[in-house]
Amino acid sequence: MNVLSVELQAIEHRAYPIYIDQKVLVNQHLWEKIMRSFSAGKQVAIITNPKIAELYLGDLENALANYNVLPILISEGEEHKKLSTMEKVYTDLSEAGFNRSSTLIALGGGVIGDLTGFIAATWMRGVNYIQVPTTLLAQVDSSVGGKTGVNIPQGKNMIGCFYHPRAVMIDLSTLSSLPNREFKAGLSEVIKYGLIYDVDFFEWLVKNIDGLLAQDAQLLAYAVEHSCVIKAEVVAKDEKESGLRAILNLGHTFGHAIETAMGYGEWLHGEAISAGMVYAAKLSQELGWINQAQVDRITELFKRVGLPTSGPKNLTYIEYRDLMFKDKKLRDKGLPLVLLKAIGNAVVSYDYEQSQVKKVLTEVT
């Protein structure tokens, strides 16, 4: 089993483990160890949705046999990552008498993880929680790093906070039940790490993408682990996104505009940011930072996965612009975009013209 660590630089020393292996979900001994590590109380809520519950809730309940487990099922889908869903969960916790010693467990993808993290941060001003990510996207990205929150109709993840889990339990065997479209969407975030931070990893992905698409267990384990290593390293250097961490948002400002414009859930997050990363690459080329051949290599890799390399045909530049300028990354000095100085080297930049963004978004490809 590979065990990584997220080292937070804060006044008090805080670190949490990421366990990565097949079948960690059912490892009762490991669960006991983790729960003991933060003196967890007896009450545990597993927050999940009906589909994931059918697949994995029983196993997790068995592994937590020594605790009083309350399953809380919320409706499936990005459109339920919203404040009213949180209210329902607060009601359930309240009626079951959950207190400050209680623990929440997020069993699911990024939607469940982001919601549960935000509920954990706000229930009684903060209780412990554990991430058990069951999608590729959640395993390589959303379960690590403590970004939590919900959407509002005006924008993605607009309400939220940084609140880290006590542990992340990545059970690679849960990926076997993941729909293919979701798996591919997760690969989008894996490719992101190569683009922003590690050219060798990008080259490894180019070489091994077919094996990954075939879900070769060893390749997949390496891709998940290496993605988590990069994420943990970036988060450890800049926990609250005051600088470096922003590179993790490559393609996201374009992508969030697509997700918001289309209605949450229409385009998967990983699909939207795939198109967004290609736009970011093209804008980087406009600025003279990378060349056509590099843009082509990036585009080609997303195409091989079967991910979109441009946004919805009917989305106009004005719609993009208006939505992008509502992004929560907007500052007084403008809208920062993550762009590429090279494959494997991303920077946050305000040094682009809006006309260049327009050109990239309206180019016929």
Active-site residue set: 125, 147, 189, 231, 241, 245, 249, 252, 256, 269
Please tell me the distance from the alpha carbon of residue 232 to that of residue 118, in angstroms, as a whole number: 20
- Does residue 177 interact with ligand NAD by CB under 6 A? yes
One residue of 174, 227, 253, 260 binding ligand NAD per CB under 6 A: 174
CB of 29 to ligand NAD, least distance (A): 23
One-letter identity of residue 196: I
CB of 243 to ligand GLY, least distance (A): 12
Using the minimum distance from each CB to ligand GLY, give the nearer residue, 30 or 136: 136
CB of 300 to ligand GLY, least distance (A): 24
Please tell me the distance from the alpha carbon of residue 282 to that of residue 286, in angstroms, as a whole number: 6
Asked whether the beta carbons of 115 and 86 are under 8 A apart, the reply is yes
> Stretches 39-47, 178-186, 281-289, 327-335: which one binds ligand NAD (CB under 6 A)?
178-186
Query: What DSSP line would sit under 148-185, residue for residue?
Result: EEEEETTEEEEEEEE---SEEEEEGGGGGGS-HHHHHH
Please tell me the distance from the alpha carbon of residue 351 to that of residue 195, in angstroms, as a whole number: 20
Asked whether the beta carbons of 119 and 72 are under 8 A apart, the reply is no
Binding residues for ligand GLY restricted to 105-144, rule: CB under 6 A: 141
Please tell me the distance from the alpha carbon of residue 54 to that of residue 58, in angstroms, as a whole number: 8
Phi-psi region for residue 267, left (φ > 0), alpha (ψ -120 to 50) or beta? beta
By a kind-dependent CB cut-off of 5 to 8 A, residue 285 interacts, out of ligand GLY, ligand NAD, none, with none
Q: Which residue has the tokens 């937070």?
A: 8
One-letter identity of residue 53: A
- Does residue 164 interact with ligand GLY by CB under 6 A? no
- Does residue 185 interact with ligand NAD by CB under 6 A? yes
Please tell me the distance from the alpha carbon of residue 162 to that of residue 245, in angstroms, as a whole number: 13
- Does residue 145 interact with ligand NAD by CB under 6 A? yes
- Does residue 134 interact with ligand NAD by CB under 6 A? yes
One residue of 114, 198, 239, 327 binding ligand NAD per CB under 6 A: 114
- Does residue 178 interact with ligand NAD by CB under 6 A? yes
DSSP summary character for residue 249 = G
Residues that bind ligand GLY (CB under 6 A): 141, 145, 147, 245, 248-249
Residues that bind ligand NAD (CB under 6 A): 49, 51-52, 55, 76, 78, 81, 108-112, 114, 134-135, 137-138, 141-142, 145, 147, 156-157, 174, 177-178, 182, 185, 269-270
